[in-house]
Amino acid sequence: MSLDGFPPFISAQLHYLINHFPDKIKVEQVLSGGKTYTGGLDRFTLLIPYCLDYIKWDIIYNAEFPLAPPDIIFGTEDEDFHPLHMTGRVGEGDLKFRNILSDWNYKDPTRLLALIQELRDRYMAYQKKRVGEVDDDRLTFEISTICSREGIEMQISSGAEKPEEVKFAVPLMDMNINKMVHGCPWRHPQKIYLQVIYPVGKKYASTPSAPRLKLMSTTELRALFTIEDVKLPSWLDGMCMAEYLPHLEESLQKQVLEAVSLIDIRRHFIEALAPLLGRPLEADPKGNISCFLWILRFPGALPYFNSVS
């Protein structure tokens, strides 16, 4: 995306952030904070992926004061998120975060990425604390059983009209899918997540209702494996995540391995055609691995032969 109109020190940092952030970050609503536009654009909204959704943070630079670090405005629901003075122990991460701001070097393009990553970690800790304070026995139990899993993200969402809910993004299967696919074109590691949304229960509800479940995957994985086709095992009454997840992971693992082996079979098939149809033969997976369209070019009557598998 074009980042014209920014003063050089902002565009360098923003470019670096977009290119090096582990996930896809979006930039919206780019504006200028000056009275006239001569200073350039210096404020924008970042959509940062968190918990299978986006959090919107407004980043405020000042084109007139390049030496100052940017200021950040968090979302409307996060009024209590104060990373600069979070109560509790001041850990190493907190010191690192404060150092980024106090030693701000506007010429260093890596600074904005470091700042956003540290803030996102603080945000995760803040959400974890908020979820931990929820007054719901079932949730407390669930959290205690699964918080040992690495990479879990959780978020409380509450609004005026809708009831309070706690959302979990549980990464499934500790497999490195990228490695399993031959010649994988993906830049980021692909993962599958289970989104679990629990309503925060009122004390007088008799039976706790089942949470809403949804499987989601990183976008590029859809080429290999359509996540929407996977049928989730049903959630029985009185089940908890610690029971449910292993079943789900087992069946999902089988399906993923099947999809990967199918690709291997296709590849072998195409390669095996080469000696039969004569050289030169090019098999071009055309970007999409399972797109089912392999364009084969070989000498002969037809300019190309599309094999749909």
Partner 1 sequence: MGDLVLQKIAISGPTLASMIQRLSSSPADLDGLLFGHVTCVAPSALSDDSVQSTPDSQLVATISSFLSFPSLLSFYDSLGRVDSSRLTLTNLNQKPLIGWFSFRRKTPLRPSMRESSVTRSLPSNPQLYLPIQNASSESLFAPSIFLLFTTPLQDQFIQTCQYRAFQYQSSNLCFNPLPIDIVNIGPAFRGHYGAFSPTSALPFLNCELRSSSAINECRNEENLIGMKRIAKDQSELDMCAEGMQIGRLNQLIGPEAVNYTAGLEDLYKKMLCKIESLARLVEASSAKVVEQENHNRKLRYKVARSAGLE
Structure-block tokens of residue 277: 């149809």
Where does this chain touch partner 1 (CB under 8 A) — which range of 99-107, 125-133, 187-195, 206-214?
Answer: 99-107
Q: Does 34 bind partner 1 (CB under 8 A)?
A: yes
Give the number of C-alpha atoms closer than 13 A to the C-alpha of residue 169, restricted to the C-beta side: 19
The residue within the footprint of partner 1, chosen from 2, 36, 148, 234 (CB under 8 A), is 36
**Residues in Cβ contact with 229 at an 8 Å cutoff, skipping those fewer than 6 apart:** none
Site for partner 1 in 11-30 (CB under 8 A): 11-12, 29
Site for partner 1 in 40-79 (CB under 8 A): 43, 58, 60, 62-69, 71-74, 76, 79
Q: Does 111 bind partner 1 (CB under 8 A)?
A: no
Q: Does 8 bind partner 1 (CB under 8 A)?
A: yes
Cβ(165)–Cβ(198) under 8 Å? yes
Q: How many residues bind partner 1 (CB under 8 A)?
A: 42
Q: Does 171 bind partner 1 (CB under 8 A)?
A: no
Structure-block tokens of residue 251: 């069946």
Q: Does 126 bind partner 1 (CB under 8 A)?
A: no
Separation CA 242–CA 250 (nearest Å): 13
Cβ(17)–Cβ(26) under 8 Å? no
Q: Does 261 bind partner 1 (CB under 8 A)?
A: no
**Closest to partner 1 by CB, 24 or 82:** 82
Q: Per DSSP, which regions of the chain are E strands?
A: 26-31, 43-50, 53-60, 71-73, 153-157, 165-172, 192-199, 212-217, 282-284, 294-297, 305-307
> Footprint of partner 1 on this chain (CB under 8 A)?
7-9, 11-12, 29, 31-36, 39, 43, 58, 60, 62-69, 71-74, 76, 79-80, 82-85, 87, 98, 101-102, 104, 106-107
